[in-house]
Structure 1
Amino acid sequence: MAKRLFISLLIGLLLLTTPSYVMAQSQNLPNPKKVGEGTEQSVLGKGDNGNNETPGEWFVGESPSNPLPNAPVLLFVPGLNNVAQIFWEEDGLYEAAYESGYETAFIQLYDAGGASADMWDNGKLLAEKIEEISAHFQGKPITIIAYSKGGVDTQAAVAYYGAWQYVDRTLTLSSPHHGSELADLANSNWAGWLAELLGLRGEGTAAVETGYMEYFRSLTDEKPYAYVNDFYTFGGTDWGSMFSSTWFGGMYLSNYGDNDGVVTAVSTRLPKGEEVAIGNWNHTSIRSNVLFPVLEDYIFTESQPNKRYSFNTALEGKSATAEQYVYGSRLEKNKHEKHAFPIEETVDKVNIQLYTASPLGEVQLVDPNGKSYPVTQVAKQNGGFFAGATGYSIQVNHPVSGEWSLKMLSDQKNAYLLQGQFDKATKHQILLEAPLNRGVTNELPWKTNDAQVKDESIETVYTIVESGEQIPVMTGTIKGGSFNLSKELSSLKKNQAYNITIDIKGETISGSPFKRTVVDSVYLSE
């Protein structure tokens, strides 16, 4: 308890002060030098993330002038669609590690070659290179600092490919150990057109869907070497500046609890690791040098000789109430497009988020009375699951009930993904249960709030695709206010991950039309 209080106080202090080595930038610190040769360009996955580095290459940072005695080598592992260079960009962790006296190494995983990879391919490559890095540093212990999906890749490397024997411990920074609901959204039926244009349908995105990650947890957590090296986890609750990449993701993930704009705080926990801190960091700032003072307390084995914590608290957080609407489609060049959707009378506030593959020439939101709301806020998504997309946002308080429409015009071939989030009093909640991920149990039940909707008006359409694909393997319609998809899922092929989009429409007790969308994923095992 005392240690956690200390960490909380330290985090608070970090928000008010800046470490001296961050203030005193090492302007002349050279970039790390390539030492290890890589493989050929990545041909994994189906996406094209725009990277053009060579997977398997690894780099060594400048030797510190004030080396810490007996300190481990710090190996930095990048995340989904990232390259090693993210660690030595401005305010990166490389400079903080150098200033503190640590030797450093950096690795390019398959994602650096242009298409993301799952934890199996990246884990195998990482394990091979860890052995090389260990030999380069004459067998010195290695502490891994893994960012985002890099933490999942690292656990695969130690649990399945023998890297545990070279590693002392691992610190994971906002790693989706239980997956990310944003990955579910990116691979959903409605995101298909946008994902194809942006090149997002890589194997790495499918691997961190919530359904597949629960399957990975069921395989991995009892493996003999999964936790032979200590794991320390860090997560964030900040979304970044308004309309930034992490802000858009944070808005969507707010349905599922506290998050850093890409990963929920509860997903960053490991069943047999120690959660060090959930701080006021977003998914970008958590890899910056402002975090290093907290990391440094967990880099040295000698600093905590009797430390063997196990964080086994059950996952907490919100149950998704599915008070949201999702829709997506393609946009023809120079053709006015309109998409209509209802908002019922009990909605207090609506937040509209819109992603497009390229900027729109015109976009506006129109209420049932014909009043137009210009959508003027624009942000280029520089990271996350919709990297490369243009983001738009508008909030309407006390919206008029009835049919609203989003009007768009594009001067080029385009696609969009619309997400509307409805805020309302709990007593007016449409869905009492939503099909949250059930791991590998394949149970997906939900029911509507009988006090708020006409049961006989409810119509539900479900669309199931193999994760990372666009063509549905099953669609169907169900009448009534509750159902369970376990029977439908049982007929699909096993040892396969599936993404499920559920569209619900009906009327409230007062006769006001509504629509809701639930996106989920499962892995069907034998």
Structure 2
Amino acid sequence: MTRRFSICALFVFFSIFFTIPGSISALEKNILTTELADPTPVKQAEPNFMVSGKANNGNNEVPGEWYIGETPPNLITNSPILLFVPGLNNVAQIFWEDNDMYQTAYNAGYQTTFVQLYDAGGASADMWENGQLLADKIKEISNHFGGRPITVVAYSKGGVDTQTALTYYGAWQYVDNVITLSSPHHGSQLADLAYSSSAGWLARLIGATGDGTFSMQMGYMADYRNQTDIQPKAYYNNYYTLGGTSWGSVFSSTWFGGIYLSQYGPNDGVVTTVSSQLPHGQVLAIDNWNHTSVRTGTTFPIFQNYLSDNDYFHSSFQEPIHSKVSPSFNQWVDGGPLTANKQAAISFVVEDGVQELNLNMMTSTERMKLKLVSPTGDEVAPKFQVNKVEEGVFKGAIQTKITLKVPQDGKWNLYVTAEQEDAYLFVATYDELQPKLVQSKKFTLNKSSLLYQIDGNPKAVREGSLQATYKITQSSDPTISQSVTTSGKNNSLSQSITFPNRDEVYNITIEIDGITKNGIPFKRTLIDSVYVE
């Protein structure tokens, strides 16, 4: 009897022992599969401010409103509150609508919060307006949770807004760490493109020239970095950065940006990997994310160990590598208005040695007819790939993409007939055997003038054939502009540019013409911006 009891007791013991792990797994599975309710708005109030953005981005949320996510049953003791900050023209909902970032943070045991910045109210704002608003909300959220520290997870321009809030508006004292997800810490060349003479027609039509885009110009952000990186509180908090190298599929909203930014190096369709880095920040990863996927739960495991204040990282200065990156000069850019029901011709040239030609056109509507004609006058019927841009500076535009393998050299024409008044931005990207232009340099002569030097490749360009036209436009007032044309000797172009006004951002569109060694004309475009103190 005793032996029988012992065997039964042993059986019960092992049964309980081996079912406990199963019970834990079930609990974890329940957490993982729980359908979360949307975060709850904490305060619904009419904004007591004027939004000064120049453009309407289509958003209608309440700036300054913030949300609390559900408290996870496996809440990590003494963990910081996670505050997710959206980017340019975004709303807080991007972290939980068609996105598993909120769910992933919940599963990991973190209390989440989300905030609406000025961009959520209909017009993009610069880092100064958003930074001040964000600083107020950080303090409010910290007080709501009894002074618990906050770790900010900031997406895109939200990273710049966050550093502004912490550095200039006193929010540093409430924050542990800052994670930035592909933030344009040095600006985005897409913002320069939006303010260029070629893109201006379309950018104004679709509302792409708001204050937020203005502040993301490379020239403006160079001045911001010069001001900010020397501030006492600029790096009081630890900054950890992530960047991406994927553009998504050809139908994705980041493809156009990826193609355009390719001449400036690896990028995620909106921000180059170089721009995603901070001089005193630590790079956690550069991986195969595009500008949309970098804000999803797939990146959470990468930065999870850096959410709490710890000894993982001590700030040290890294030389800004963006200054070392020279564009590849493999694009030509054009743009202008389209009259309803009137055919317009976009003429572009293809030189010898081009292995592949990518044509990208953006308009405000897809209701138009397109016809591509080769140099011999034959109509070409390529596959036109059309999609809507849902991310970045040109959000809302319709992109049409054409790819031609080993295109015939000579003059091509793309005929466009729009059904309504519209505008276009056209970018031709050349995959060439030998680059035509191999170097560009920008020297500061004094505070109001710059010297540009552009060198041709002597192996690919006929000596003495280079010519450049510089169109210099004041970004805040496009009516203030000037043009300068120069010809080069010995495959080198040099031009000094003097700017009429101080404390302004100037867009510089450089149109370059030349002839290859085989006597075929070619064209290239370089777009830049500078801040004049």
Provide TM-score, normalisation by structure 1. Answer: 0.90
> Quick check: 1:36–1:59 contact (8 Å CA) kept in 2?
no
2:181 maps to which residue? Answer: 173
1:281 maps to which residue? Answer: 289
Matches of 1:165 and 1:39 in 2, distance apart? 26
Deviations 1:100-132 (A, max 9, x none): 221121111111111111111111111112111
- 2:74 partner SS: coil
AA aligned opposite 2:356: K
How far is the alpha carbon of 1:28 from its aligned partner? 4.0
2:12 maps to which residue? Answer: none
- Whether 1:415 aligns to 2:426 is no
- 1:75 partner SS: strand
Matches of 1:423 and 1:24 in 2, distance apart? 46
Deviations 1:156-178 (A, max 9, x none): 11111111111111000000011
1:46-125 correspondence runs (5 A): 46-125=54-133
2:523 maps to which residue? Answer: 515
1:61-460 correspondence runs (5 A): 61-301=69-309, 304-305=310-311, 307-310=313-316, 312=318, 314-315=320-321, 318-371=325-378, 372-426=380-434, 429-434=435-440, 442-460=450-468
How far is the alpha carbon of 1:37 from its aligned partner? 3.9
How far is the alpha carbon of 1:87 from its aligned partner? 1.1
AA aligned opposite 2:457: N
Matches of 1:306 and 1:86 in 2, distance apart? 29
> Quick check: 1:363–1:375 contact (8 Å CA) kept in 2?
no
AA aligned opposite 2:147: G
Matches of 2:443 and 2:428 in 1, distance apart? 21
Matches of 2:530 and 2:212 in 1, distance apart? 16
Matches of 1:28 and 1:192 in 2, distance apart? 43
- 1:59 partner SS: strand
Deviations 1:491-511 (A, max 9, x none): 421111111111112322332
Deviations 1:9-51 (A, max 9, x none): xxxxxxxxxxx88994432423332336462475212111111
Matches of 1:170 and 1:420 in 2, distance apart? 38
Matches of 1:445 and 1:41 in 2, distance apart? 46
Question: RMSD over aligned Cα, in angstroms?
Answer: 2.2
> Quick check: 2:193–2:527 contact (8 Å CA) kept in 1?
yes
AA aligned opposite 2:497: E
2:510 maps to which residue? Answer: 502
Matches of 2:76 and 2:326 in 1, distance apart? 46
- CA gap 1:395/1:503 in 2 versus in 1, 3 angstroms: same
Matches of 1:30 and 1:334 in 2, distance apart? 46
Higher mean C-alpha displacement, 414-423 vs 98-107: 98-107
- 2:381 partner SS: strand
- CA gap 1:21/1:495 in 2 versus in 1, 3 angstroms: farther
- CA gap 1:437/1:82 in 2 versus in 1, 3 angstroms: farther
> Quick check: 2:247–2:254 contact (8 Å CA) kept in 1?
yes
Deviations 1:181-237 (A, max 9, x none): 111112111001101110111111111111111111111111100000110001111
Unaligned segments of structure 2, at least 5 residues = 1-27
How far is the alpha carbon of 1:266 from its aligned partner? 1.0
1:45 maps to which residue? Answer: 53
> Quick check: 1:365–1:375 contact (8 Å CA) kept in 2?
no
> Quick check: 1:42–1:115 contact (8 Å CA) kept in 2?
no
- CA gap 1:245/1:177 in 2 versus in 1, 3 angstroms: same
Matches of 2:315 and 2:384 in 1, distance apart? 49
> Quick check: 2:86–2:158 contact (8 Å CA) kept in 1?
yes
AA aligned opposite 1:516: R
- CA gap 1:32/1:160 in 2 versus in 1, 3 angstroms: same
- CA gap 1:482/1:297 in 2 versus in 1, 3 angstroms: same
Matches of 1:460 and 1:475 in 2, distance apart? 10
- 2:302 partner SS: helix
Matches of 2:375 and 2:167 in 1, distance apart? 56
> Quick check: 1:360–1:408 contact (8 Å CA) kept in 2?
no
2:497 maps to which residue? Answer: 488
1:5 maps to which residue? Answer: none
Matches of 2:154 and 2:46 in 1, distance apart? 19
Unaligned segments of structure 1, at least 5 residues = 1-19
How far is the alpha carbon of 1:311 from its aligned partner? 6.0
> Quick check: 2:469–2:510 contact (8 Å CA) kept in 1?
yes
- CA gap 1:522/1:36 in 2 versus in 1, 3 angstroms: same
- 1:219 partner SS: helix
AA aligned opposite 1:522: V
- What is the aligned-residue identity percentage? 47
Matches of 1:30 and 1:462 in 2, distance apart? 51
> Quick check: 1:459–1:477 contact (8 Å CA) kept in 2?
yes
Q: Which has the larger radius of gyration?
A: 2
Matches of 1:512 and 1:468 in 2, distance apart? 38
Matches of 1:311 and 1:234 in 2, distance apart? 17
AA aligned opposite 2:416: M
How far is the alpha carbon of 1:390 from its aligned partner? 0.7
AA aligned opposite 2:173: Q
> Quick check: 1:434–1:518 contact (8 Å CA) kept in 2?
no
Equivalenced residue count is 500
Higher mean C-alpha displacement, 452-461 vs 367-376: 452-461
Matches of 2:46 and 2:252 in 1, distance apart? 34
Matches of 2:450 and 2:39 in 1, distance apart? 48
Matches of 1:364 and 1:278 in 2, distance apart? 40
- 2:213 partner SS: helix
